Amino acid sequence: MSLTRRGVVTLAATALLLAGCGSSGEETPAPGGSAAAQEKVTVEWWHIQNIEPMQPVWEAMAKEYMAANPNVTINITALENEAFKAKMTTVAQSGESPDIYQTWGGGVLQQQADAGIAKDITADIASWADTITPAAAAAYKLNGKTYGVPYDIGMVGFWYNKALFAKAGITAPPATWTEFIDDVKKLQAAGITPLSLAGKAKWPGHYYWAYLAMRIAGLDALKQAAAAKSFDNPDFIAAGQKLKELADLKPFQNGFLGANYDTPDGQAATMGNGKAAMELMGQWAPTVQKDTAKDLGEDLAFFPFPMVEGGKGSATDAFGGGGGFAVGADAPPAATDFLKFILSAENHRKEIATGALLPVIKGTEDAVTSRTGKMVADTLAQATDFQLYLDQAYPPAVGQQVNDSVAELIAGTKSPEEVVKAITETAQSE
């Protein structure tokens, strides 16, 4: 499906295009080679770090930049993940965008680029692009051009409560799916809720199906399915069957279908309050647990998604990604100059020090000091291959269908076969 350019109302398939209201005009570089404006300009910056510890860090950096560049005003809009997407969906119909906005790269960013919403910043960041680690930069490079820069990289895995595992008699994290299912049953037998899940948010549930598809079918099968626009593969049905096997055990907290992720009664808080033994989540999980509930301290640990016996995928293939920023097509040069500022080695170290982000700038790896951050970094360092979140890797409509169908599978209203059929039909309609 083709997308119209700026100034023209976009088609319905752009519903998940992450774009918004832009600003500003042309500017003249300031003396000394800075990209700060001689004319007064405003940079609209939309991001999803709406809680501590990152929100105040970025606010302070914006103030510091504005103090050094008095003709630049940076307006910050900080939103929760789903609220951000909803707001961007609303404003996307104009075909405009903020000057700097959250992106996860992949198929969503590709559609934004095709629509003329995201700017090709290859030349704009050429002087500092090589400071970014290649693995972190990959999701934002499309057809040889760069449309965004990362600020974080990591992976999804199981965060678990060691004290609750010990209470259930579990002495080590499961390495296989069979062991995982056995541990779920042991936790239930001990009166412990095995898993916390934000069923209402949907995207956390897709992590299970995606990982099972990777372990059973292999990473290449996911890539081939996307290219062929067909997920009609027995291995993908098998992934759904494994997930149904788990869901049938009723392992999630009471009310999970109505739970969001980072609300006081959501997935992260349930985990942080010790009311569930595990959650399948990305590198940011400890920070959100602490912000919405409490810090589990030494009781919190991490293990990669288990292998599936007989599967074609490797147990060391990782699934995840990281946050990044795209630049609006009409953004002033101050936008990319500000990105250079917040991604300088000095400032990135401050960001990493919060424990909320992992390094994307070369030479800053030693800034990871948090125990949990090192767990993820060490696991990721052993990864043999990497898959971006499916709801970002695929075109928006396909990614949303993955989320919706998997949510229905977990809720018991869609079969594994129907999941595959629905995703295929959506892919072929694109």
pLDDT over 90 percentage in the chain: 76
239 with 209: CB under 8 angstroms? yes
Give the integer Cα–Cα distance in Å for 228 and 288.
Answer: 37
Q: In the predicted model, is pLDDT for residue 4 greater than 50?
A: no
Name the residue among 192, 341, 308, 185 with its Cα closest to residue 240.
Answer: 308
So what's the pLDDT on residue 355?
A: 86
Question: Minimum mean pLDDT among 15-29, 117-131, 186-200: which range?
Answer: 15-29
Buried b (16+ CB within 10 A) or exposed e, 369-390: ebebbebbbebbeebeebbbbb
Instruction: Output the six-digit token pair for 86.
Output: 């909803």
So what's the pLDDT on residue 38?
A: 67
Residues 333-388: pLDDT tens digits?
A: 999 999 999 999 999 999 999 988 999 999 999 999 889 999 999 898 888 889 99
Q: In the predicted model, is pLDDT for residue 293 greater than 60?
A: yes
Q: Which of 46-50, 60-64, 290-294, 396-400 has the highest mean pLDDT?
A: 60-64
So what's the pLDDT on residue 39?
A: 86
Residues 411-421: pLDDT tens digits?
A: 999 999 999 99
Query: Which tops the pLDDT comparison, 138 or 348?
Result: 348
Record the pTM: 0.79
By three-state DSSP, how is residue 338 classified?
Answer: helix
Q: What is the mean pLDDT of the chain?
A: 89
Instruction: Output the six-digit token pair for 388.
Output: 């971006």
Residues 5-45: pLDDT tens digits?
A: 222 222 223 333 333 333 433 333 333 334 444 689 999 99
- Domains of the chain as residue ranges with CATH: 18-153+322-363 (3.40.190.10), 155-319+390-429 (3.40.190.10)
- Helix H segments across 32-160? 54-68, 81-92, 106-114, 134-137
Q: Which of 110-119, 148-157, 352-361 has the highest mean pLDDT?
A: 148-157
DSSP code of residue 206: H
So what's the pLDDT on residue 81?
A: 85
Residues 160-184: pLDDT tens digits?
A: 999 999 999 999 999 999 999 999 9
